[in-house]
Chain A
Amino acid sequence: MINQYPLWKYLLLVVVLIVGGIYSMPNLYGEDPSVLVSLRNKQIDETTQQKIDELLKQASVQFKSSELTNNKLLVRFNSVETQLIASSTIKSFDFIKRNSDYTVALNLAPATPAWLQSFNALPMFLGLDLRGGVHFLLEVDMETVVDNMESDLVSEMRSHLRENKVRYRGIKRAEGGINIQFRDASGLEQGEPKLRSQFRDLEYSTDEDNLMVFARITEKTLRQERKSAIQQNVTTLRNRVNELGVAEPVIQQQGENRIVVQLPGVQDTARAKDILGATATLEFRLTEGTRADWASAANGGTIPLNAKLYRERNGDPVLLKRRVIVTGDQINSASSTIDTQSGTPAVSVRLDSKGAKKMGKTTQENIKKPMAVVFIENKVVTKMVDGKKVKTRTRKEEVINIATIQGQFSKQFQITGLESFEARDLALLLRAGALKAPVEIVEERTVGPSLGKDNIEQGFNSVMIGFCLVLVFMVIYYRAFGLMANVALTANLVLITAILSLMQATLTLPGIAGIVLTVGMAVDANVLIFERIREELRLGNSPQASIHAGYEKAFSTIADANVTTFIAAIVLFSLGTGPVKGFAITLSIGILTSMFTAIMGTRAMVNLFYGGRNLKKLSI
Chain B
Amino acid sequence: MHLLTGKTKIDFLGKRNIALGFSVVLLLISIASIYTRGLNLGIDFTGGYLIEVGYTHSVELEPVRKALVKSKYSDALIQHFGTSKDVLVRIAPREGVNSASISDEVVHILKSTSTDTVEMRRIEFVGPQVGEELREQGGLAMLIALFGIMIYVGFRFQMKSAFGAILALVHDVIITIGVFSIVQMPFDLSVLAAILAVIGYSLNDTVVVLDRIRETFRAQRKGTAIEILNMSINGTLSRTLMTSLTTLLVLGALFALGGEVIHGFAFALIVGVFIGTYSSIYVASSSLVLMRVEKHDFLEHVKENEEIDDMP
Contacts and interface: CB of A to CB of B under 8 A. Distances in A.
Interface stretch (B13-21, B243-251, B285-293): B243-251
Nearest to B251: A520
Interface stretch (A71-79, A98-106, A294-302, A560-568): A560-568
A324 interface: no
B164 to A, nearest CB: 14
Contact of A273 (B54, B100, B269): B100
Q: Could you say which of A446, A450, A509, A520 has the most chain B C-beta atoms within 10 Å of its C-beta?
A: A520
B312 A555 contact: yes
A447 interface: yes
A571 interface: yes
A469 B250 contact: yes
A446 B124 contact: yes
A527 B239 CA distance: 6
A411 interface: no
Nearest to A599: B312
Contact of B120 (A382, A448, A470, A513): A448
A565 B119 contact: no
Contact of A446 (B122, B152, B190): B122
Given A442-B130, A469-B249, A556 B309 contact: yes
A520 B249 contact: yes
B200 A389 contact: no
A579 B127 contact: no
A165 B280 CA distance: 84
Contacts of A113: none
B261 A557 contact: no
Contacts of A509: 258-259, 261-262
Contacts of A379: 98
Instruction: Determine which residue in A440, A443, A564, A565 has the highest number of CB atoms from chain B within 10 A of its CB, and name it.
Output: A564
Interface in B92-135: 93, 95-101, 103-104, 119-130, 134
Contact of A565 (B204, B242, B257): B204
A155 interface: no
Interface stretch (A209-217, A229-237, A354-362, A452-460): A452-460
A567 B52 CA distance: 35
Given A461-B257, A527-B243, A572-B196, A564 B203 contact: yes
B1 A477 contact: yes
Nearest to A567: B148
B59 interface: no
A184 interface: no
A448 to B, nearest CB: 4
Contacts of B99: 381-382, 440-441
A30 interface: no
Contacts of A571: 141, 144-145, 148, 196
A579 B193 contact: yes
Contacts of B257: 458, 461-462, 465
Contact of B199 (A476, A562, A568): A568
A168 interface: no
A443 B132 CA distance: 12
A474 to B, nearest CB: 8
Interface in B167-195: 189-190, 192-193
A467 interface: yes
A561 B206 CA distance: 8
Contacts of B103: 269, 444, 446
A569 interface: yes
B200 A568 contact: yes
A568 B149 CA distance: 8
A615 interface: no
B275 to A, nearest CB: 16
Interface in A419-471: 440-448, 450-451, 454-455, 458-459, 461-463, 465-467, 469-470
A94 B267 CA distance: 55
A309 interface: no
A384 B129 CA distance: 9
Interface string A546-580: 00000111011101111111111111100111111
Interface stretch (A285-293, A328-336, A496-504, A530-538): A530-538
A521 interface: yes
B29 interface: no
A458 B127 contact: no
A466 B211 CA distance: 29
Interface string A473-498: 11011010000000000000000000
Interface string B197-215: 1011101110110011001
Nearest to A587: B197
Contact of B200 (A470, A477, A565): A565
Given A445-B123, A513-B266, A384 B95 contact: yes
A467 B250 CA distance: 7
A560 B128 CA distance: 40
B207 A561 contact: yes
A44 B50 CA distance: 42
Contact of B156 (A137, A450, A560): A560
Interface in B230-254: 235-236, 238-239, 242-243, 245-254
B120 A555 contact: no
A442 B129 contact: yes
B46 to A, nearest CB: 11
Nearest to B311: A555
B308 interface: yes
A520 B250 contact: yes
Given A462-B257, A513-B262, A577-B137, A527 B242 contact: yes
Contacts of B156: 560
Contact of A466 (B3, B127, B250): B250
Given A516-B254, A527-B243, A580-B193, A441 B100 contact: yes
19 contacts: A381-B96, A381-B98, A381-B99, A383-B96, A444-B125, A445-B124, A446-B103, A463-B253, A469-B249, A513-B190, A513-B258, A528-B243, A559-B308, A561-B211, A562-B204, A565-B203, A568-B196, A571-B144, A571-B148
Interface of A: 129, 137, 139, 267, 269-270, 273, 277, 379, 381-385, 389, 392, 440-448, 450-451, 454-455, 458-459, 461-463, 465-467, 469-470, 473-474, 476-477, 479, 509-510, 512-513, 516-517, 519-521, 523-524, 527-528, 531, 534-535, 538, 551-553, 555-557, 559-572, 575-580, 583-584, 587, 599-600, 603
Given A277-B100, A509-B258, A531-B239, 14 more contacts: A447-B122, A463-B253, A477-B1, A513-B254, A517-B197, A531-B236, A538-B7, A552-B312, A553-B309, A555-B311, A559-B311, A560-B208, A568-B196, A583-B193
